[in-house]
A = this chain, B = another copy of it.
């Protein structure tokens, strides 16, 4: 299946993609993918916006994207792409070589000022000034937009797990949050909150692929509504949780009682290393944990381990043991092993959502894009955790925007 590298029907300007963590594993993979797709070097596997019925929407193509962003890693995209590709064996150095010119161009739009980062501000005698920090973010977005004469920009958060800030009622209103900024409350704000605030102030739609806070704050959602902007999150669903939300309903349908669902995640990438820090693991585990209870309607014994195994690199190996009870109270079990490459699983979802965010913004839709629920471990404002009804929302959304939608591949229904 050929990828839609060009816009379908209409003629409009370019769309900006501003990535927080622009030289990380996912971002590097995404950028390599966009360029490889443009050249027809790879198939569009992994992107749901490339198959019917979603592909029938009038979405932007790969050629319409202008990519830039922030990172605290010096070096450059060519270097990080080569590292990612080699470590995980996901793409060849030949491919990186081929698209080096494009990578170098994108690199010019990646701001790298480690000394201006939140962490640097805190560690250097607590010199962090949150208001200036935000203003700098906004200025960077303005420059990027003006330089490329962008019609719209989607901001995507792909940064590492942060420590959670404290809870506060000030988070519930825009005034409250702006007051916290003025008061320079480093204990109640976080980089991701600032990214979200800056993005909305600059008229950007926003996708939070991380477990970090931001768009879950009601005050920031008010800002999005004021500015008429769409947004969604949190925490991309790429591996074990994806499988869990596809499988758990099966046990419910059959009234097979889950006695225990134990999951072990082994991974060796930067994400794994960060998550080895118990402080950073909190948000992640929180997102993973309540999935089962929500689907099943009761709380089975369940454990989730995340172990850092450096040799695996970007390849996550998850093993789950599901112990369940059937008729006559007989205990049975199921195990699964998931061996996937995190960046390879995550990057196409991000691309899908960039397209769908631009589509929503172009159609004047604002607020949480609940039709993206299937992409997240902890979808905003959505109690539905099972994968299938989540995905049905996307299908319904597509149908609402199409006159003659095609069925999902072979999905022919009998009446």
Among B247, B344, B374, B408, the residue within 8 A (CB) of A243 is: B247
Contact between chains at B45 and A264 (CB < 8 Å): no
Q: Which residues of B contact A410 (CB under 8 A)?
A: 293-298
- In the complex, whether A317 has a CB less than 8 A from a CB of chain B is yes
- In the complex, whether A279 has a CB less than 8 A from a CB of chain B is no
Looking at the assembled complex, report how far the CB atom of A49 sits from the nearest CB atom of chain B, in whole angstroms.
Answer: 8
Q: Which residues of B contact A337 (CB under 8 A)?
A: 334-337
Contact between chains at A255 and B326 (CB < 8 Å): no
Looking at the assembled complex, report how far the CB atom of A278 sits from the nearest CB atom of chain B, in whole angstroms.
Answer: 14
Among B32, B335, B345, the residue within 8 A (CB) of A326 is: B345
Looking at the assembled complex, report how far the CB atom of A356 sits from the nearest CB atom of chain B, in whole angstroms.
Answer: 14
Looking at the assembled complex, report how far the CB atom of A251 sits from the nearest CB atom of chain B, in whole angstroms.
Answer: 9
Interface SS majority for chain A: mixed
Q: Which residues of B contact A223 (CB under 8 A)?
A: none
Q: Which residues of B contact A327 (CB under 8 A)?
A: 29, 33, 42, 45-47, 344-345, 347-348
Knowing A93-B92, A321-B317, A330-B341, the reply to whether A260 touches B383 (Cβ < 8 A) is: no
Contact between chains at A326 and B348 (CB < 8 Å): yes
Among B255, B321, B408, the residue within 8 A (CB) of A46 is: B255
Binary interface encoding of chain A residues 228-244 relative to chain B, with 1 for a CB under 8 A from any of its CBs, else 0 = 00000000000000110
Q: Which residues of B contact A247 (CB under 8 A)?
A: 243, 246-247
Contact between chains at B296 and A409 (CB < 8 Å): yes
- In the complex, whether A40 has a CB less than 8 A from a CB of chain B is no
Q: Which residues of B contact A323 (CB under 8 A)?
A: 309, 311-312
Please report the C-alpha to C-alpha distance between residue A113 and residue B373 in the assembled complex, in whole angstroms: 59
Looking at the assembled complex, report how far the CB atom of A68 sits from the nearest CB atom of chain B, in whole angstroms.
Answer: 21
Residues of A within 8 A of B (CB): 29, 32-33, 36, 42-48, 50-51, 89-94, 242-243, 246-247, 249-250, 252-257, 259-260, 262, 264, 266, 293-298, 301, 303, 305, 307, 309-312, 317, 319, 321, 323, 325-341, 344-345, 347-349, 370, 374, 381-384, 386-389, 391, 408-414
Q: List 11 A-B contacts (CB under 8 A).
A: A42-B328, A43-B257, A46-B328, A48-B255, A92-B93, A243-B247, A303-B307, A305-B307, A334-B339, A383-B413, A384-B412
Instruction: Contacts A332-B345, A382-B414 known; list 13 others, CB within 8 Å.
Output: A29-B328, A46-B254, A242-B254, A246-B249, A262-B309, A297-B410, A297-B411, A303-B309, A334-B336, A335-B337, A337-B337, A370-B414, A386-B388
